[in-house]
Chains A and B, each alone.
Chain A
Amino acid sequence: MMIPIMALPLALPDRFAGHVYAARELVRRKQRTTVERLTTGTRGFDALLDGGLERGGTLELLGRASSGRFSLVLAMLAATTARGEPAALIDRGSALDPQAAETAGADLPFLLWARPRDMRETLASAEIVLDVGMPLVVVELGLPPLEGGRGAEAAWLRLSRAARARHTALVVAAPYRVSGTAAGTVIEARGGRPRWHPGCSRPHAPRLLHGLDTRLVRIKQVVRATDGSSDDTGMSSLTVAEAVRNHQQQPEDRGEGHSSRRRPDTATTHAVA
């Protein structure tokens, strides 16, 4: 009896059916495991991102003033440029101190620093720079309030697609959510707790700022097939559902996006002054 090839798994005994795959499915599985990642320069942060920044992906890094967010941004830029790879910082607010970046390990000739004056120039600069195809582009939006920051979701989506097309890791560093659904991963730096040195009991003893403890919380993570295509067998949505299950341990959840019921993953970092 002739069995159509697509019905073959159904015709086999259960113990064999799970081991029969179409070639297209094997290719997709291989692609999903070879996501290229860039290290962030911070071990806890890399672990939270399953190995580092995804090239072609968009990460939104949140954090208020003195949360440790900017230190993480510099660490990312240092990690990429120190390897001899170019990176760009779109710095709304011109907050970069080249001396601090160099001390953090950045190789400054490989860093492109753009200093836009407002949100319009920031978004336009990011779009221009993404066209080059650098491994890492960081858009640092500065301190709140962000004039024109919200309501630009279409622009962020466009930037996210450009990053995917150019195989660039796009990081949007902001004090609060601005990118809408454009970011595949959202990490928040919370509770920056300063540490002072020494812990001397004398009332007028000199103090030194020792560092800042930061807790990184993963708010959202979407796992996609690296070819970005939707699977006609529904594999991409299943993959996302699996990811949601992994995070929330609620098997009935479906679809991408984040939920307030999501139990976030966390990491703690300590930045030294």
Chain B
Amino acid sequence: MPDTPRIACLEVLLFPLAARLRSEPELRDEAVAVLEGQGTRARVVAATRRARRAGIVPGQTLGQARTRLPRLVARARDRCAEQAAQEALLDVAESFSPRVEDAGDGRIYLDATGLARHYPEADDPEHALATSLVHQIEQRAGLVSRVGIAGSKLAARLAAGTGGGPSIVPPGREATFLAPLPLARLLEGGTLLTTLERWGIRSTGDLARLPVDAVTSRLGEAGRRLHALARGLDPEPLVPREPPPTFVEGLELEWPLTSLEAFGFIVRAALERLTGRMAAHGLGCLRLDLSLALEPIGYHERSLTLPAPTRDTKTLLTLLRLDLERVRPGAPVRGFTLTAHPDRSRAAQLTLFGPDALSPERLATTLARLFALLGENRAGAPATVDAHRPERFALCPYAPSPPTEPRAAPPGRGLLAVRVLRPPVPLTVTTDGDDILAPPQHVETTDDHPPDAPPERPPGQGRRKHRSDRPPRRPRITGRVHIAAGPWQLAEGWWTETPIDRVYWDIELDRGGLYRIYRDKKTGAWWADGVYD
């Protein structure tokens, strides 16, 4: 007899906060709030229990929150961390069931049909399954979740929302489970909910007891669907995410190759076959593995990860060539195998009135070409780092969300920007006195080696022959200090092996120029790390 279909819904509470705490577990016991938005528009989206007890609620601005709790730890919403947390959740769920649907924002559904038979010893096998899921998610993904198991996605989701441990809806009892629930759990606001409440229909059971014809004639198709849901009939199927297949192309060569150029001609044809096959599936290459069979024996394995799925053969070939120039096989090549790990090419939903969307395929190719030209960690979307040092930054994958309605241009803030000097410029500074906090009087660029010199150009990219290949020269900062504003002291990581302890000054030179300089309190050395421009 076939198993009754069962669906489990796993939900991570306060997902933006949970994803942040997964990255910063030391904050778990603190009063923390996660905010979304910029500047004065930032609003609280989630807060820890300690913060909530102090009166921090979603929707407050940072100023309002800090008024209630001055020592509140504020964190911006981190999409990268949320994506990683969602992937971790999916990894755990896929270890239980091969059919998992990613509903996003900390929620997933998995096909739990027949899984209970793995717990024959338990009094309640489904409850044991749910408990095991919650436990594994906490152990392996570092997330606290709740679970509901029912015969449909809707009932499972609402069961997960009841809280207080795993919630199991017995097969065929979905309507009974839903009956006492308020209608607002089915409908998140809207005119339909207002209309029903005005008619005195407040619970799901009240709606389910009404004749379906009467509901449909008064509320139309939306009413008919809602009535079916109230009776526990959810036609929405589980849409499992399919692990994308891999595509393999290879060739055994008639004679071993020693030249990279000749090898490039042969690999190009294989790449074209690969990309053609991926195009037929609507997929792009996200990771490309190359395995070279060497003469007389041995293998040389390389792997390239791309910033976004692409099918551009020229870009893939350039990346392969650059990689092989960097790490040569060291022996003649008698054969090769290319394995492309694909992913769905990004699609964009166009709007009639919104701004033009970027072509996802073209954007993916552009990013891959930029990576091939500049190397990794040289292109992406900038992100702020939660640290005190002003020169710190992070780069995230560039994936702008598709345009929706055109937003009005906000008024410019007219703020003065700092041009960061990377690496900082070493200075020789004459001060007024020997005190570490003494103001600077005269500055001059020195030839000391900067603490964060840029890495050498990767080998294989050729000698610099032309002026255009030379990196920017260090600016000369020399002159008498006309005005010095400061000092501002900055300390970070005192408990680490490389703590930062600096004294900052804003200076204006008599010859012109506004600079941000600092003195390292440990070494006494001076550096210029910014130009006000």
Chain A positions near chain B (C-beta within 8 angstroms): 39-43, 63, 65-71, 73-75, 78-79, 82-86, 92-105, 107-121, 123-125, 128-129, 131-135, 142-148, 152, 192, 194, 196, 206-209, 211-212, 269-273
How far does the alpha carbon of A212 sit from the alpha carbon of B514 in the complex, in Å? 9
Write 12 A-B pairs (CB below 8 A) sorted by A numbering: A43-B412, A66-B531, A97-B420, A98-B382, A102-B384, A105-B413, A108-B384, A109-B400, A113-B395, A115-B379, A132-B363, A147-B470
Whether, in the assembled complex, B280 has its beta carbon less than 8 Å from a beta carbon of chain A, the answer is no
Whether A70 contacts B533 in the complex (CB less than 8 A), given A135-B355, A273-B415, comes out as yes
Chain B positions near chain A (C-beta within 8 angstroms): 38-39, 79, 355-356, 358-359, 362-363, 366, 369-370, 373-374, 378-385, 390-391, 393-396, 398-401, 403-404, 406-410, 412-422, 454, 457, 464, 466-473, 475, 483-485, 506, 508, 512-514, 530-533
Q: Closest CB of chain A to B142's CB: distance in Å?
A: 25
Q: Which residues of B contact A110 (CB under 8 A)?
A: 381, 400
**Neighbour of B513 across the interface among A66, A100, A123, CB < 8 A:** A66
Asked whether A270 lies within 8 Å of B414 as measured between CB atoms, the reply is yes
Asked whether A65 lies within 8 Å of B475 as measured between CB atoms, the reply is yes
Asked whether A70 lies within 8 Å of B400 as measured between CB atoms, the reply is no
B380, closest chain A residue (CB): A113
Asked whether A102 lies within 8 Å of B38 as measured between CB atoms, the reply is yes
Asked whether B370 lies within 8 Å of A119 as measured between CB atoms, the reply is no
**Neighbour of B422 across the interface among A74, A83, A94, A131, CB < 8 A:** A94
How far does the alpha carbon of A121 sit from the alpha carbon of B373 in the complex, in Å? 7
Whether A145 contacts B473 in the complex (CB less than 8 A), given A121-B373, A133-B358, A212-B532, comes out as yes
Asked whether B416 lies within 8 Å of A273 as measured between CB atoms, the reply is yes
Asked whether B382 lies within 8 Å of A69 as measured between CB atoms, the reply is no
How far does the alpha carbon of A70 sit from the alpha carbon of B384 in the complex, in Å? 19
Asked whether A84 lies within 8 Å of B406 as measured between CB atoms, the reply is yes
Whether A71 contacts B416 in the complex (CB less than 8 A), given A102-B38, A133-B358, A208-B485, comes out as yes
How far does the alpha carbon of A105 sit from the alpha carbon of B262 in the complex, in Å? 51
Further 8 A-B residue pairs, CB within 8 A, beyond A79-B409, A105-B39, A113-B379: A82-B410, A84-B404, A98-B393, A115-B374, A118-B471, A119-B469, A148-B469, A271-B416
Q: Closest CB of chain A to B353's CB: distance in Å?
A: 13
How far does the alpha carbon of A125 sit from the alpha carbon of B394 in the complex, in Å? 20
Q: Closest CB of chain B to A205's CB: distance in Å?
A: 10
Asked whether B422 lies within 8 Å of A120 as measured between CB atoms, the reply is no
Q: Which residues of B contact A108 (CB under 8 A)?
A: 381-384
Q: Which residues of A contact B421 (CB under 8 A)?
A: 95
How far does the alpha carbon of A152 sit from the alpha carbon of B533 in the complex, in Å? 26
B387, closest chain A residue (CB): A99
Q: Which residues of A contact B380 (CB under 8 A)?
A: 112-113
Q: How many A-B contacts if CB must be within 8 Å?
A: 249
Asked whether B355 lies within 8 Å of A84 as measured between CB atoms, the reply is yes
Q: Closest CB of chain A to B363's CB: distance in Å?
A: 6
B375, closest chain A residue (CB): A117
Q: Closest CB of chain B to A141's CB: distance in Å?
A: 9
Asked whether B470 lies within 8 Å of A103 as measured between CB atoms, the reply is no
Whether A65 contacts B417 in the complex (CB less than 8 A), given A113-B380, A118-B470, A120-B466, comes out as no
How far does the alpha carbon of A73 sit from the alpha carbon of B415 in the complex, in Å? 11
**Neighbour of A211 across the interface among B416, B418, B475, CB < 8 A:** B416
A101, closest chain B residue (CB): B382
How far does the alpha carbon of A114 sit from the alpha carbon of B376 in the complex, in Å? 11
Asked whether B378 lies within 8 Å of A115 as measured between CB atoms, the reply is yes
Asked whether B374 lies within 8 Å of A125 as measured between CB atoms, the reply is yes
Q: Which residues of A contact B403 (CB under 8 A)?
A: 84-85
Q: Which residues of B contact A129 (CB under 8 A)?
A: 366, 370
How far does the alpha carbon of A62 sit from the alpha carbon of B513 in the complex, in Å? 16
Asked whether A75 lies within 8 Å of B412 as measured between CB atoms, the reply is yes
Asked whether A71 lies within 8 Å of B533 as measured between CB atoms, the reply is yes
Asked whether B379 lies within 8 Å of A83 as measured between CB atoms, the reply is no
Whether A147 contacts B399 in the complex (CB less than 8 A), given A103-B415, A121-B373, A212-B514, comes out as no
Asked whether B358 lies within 8 Å of A86 as measured between CB atoms, the reply is yes
Asked whether B415 lies within 8 Å of A100 as measured between CB atoms, the reply is yes
Q: Closest CB of chain A to B51's CB: distance in Å?
A: 23
Asked whether B374 lies within 8 Å of A116 as measured between CB atoms, the reply is yes
Asked whether B381 lies within 8 Å of A83 as measured between CB atoms, the reply is no
Q: Closest CB of chain B to A169's CB: distance in Å?
A: 13
How far does the alpha carbon of A42 sit from the alpha carbon of B422 in the complex, in Å? 27
Asked whether B485 lies within 8 Å of A206 as measured between CB atoms, the reply is yes
Interface centre among B370, B408, B468 (most CB of A within 10 A): B468
Asked whether A272 lies within 8 Å of B414 as measured between CB atoms, the reply is yes
Q: Which residues of A contact B38 (CB under 8 A)?
A: 102-103, 105, 107
Whether A142 contacts B514 in the complex (CB less than 8 A), given A84-B407, A271-B417, A272-B416, comes out as no
Asked whether B416 lies within 8 Å of A212 as measured between CB atoms, the reply is yes
Shortest 9 CB-CB contacts between residues of A and residues of B: A148-B468, A41-B412, A70-B533, A98-B382, A271-B416, A119-B468, A148-B467, A95-B419, A207-B485
Q: Closest CB of chain B to A190's CB: distance in Å?
A: 12
Asked whether B370 lies within 8 Å of A128 as measured between CB atoms, the reply is yes
How far does the alpha carbon of A115 sit from the alpha carbon of B377 in the complex, in Å? 9
Q: Closest CB of chain B to A82's CB: distance in Å?
A: 5
Q: Which residues of A contact B358 (CB under 8 A)?
A: 86, 132-134
Q: Closest CB of chain B to A207's CB: distance in Å?
A: 4
How far does the alpha carbon of A270 sit from the alpha carbon of B376 in the complex, in Å? 38
Q: Which residues of B contact A39 (CB under 8 A)?
A: 409, 412
A75, closest chain B residue (CB): B412
How far does the alpha carbon of A108 sit from the alpha carbon of B36 in the complex, in Å? 13
How far does the alpha carbon of A132 sit from the alpha carbon of B395 in the complex, in Å? 20
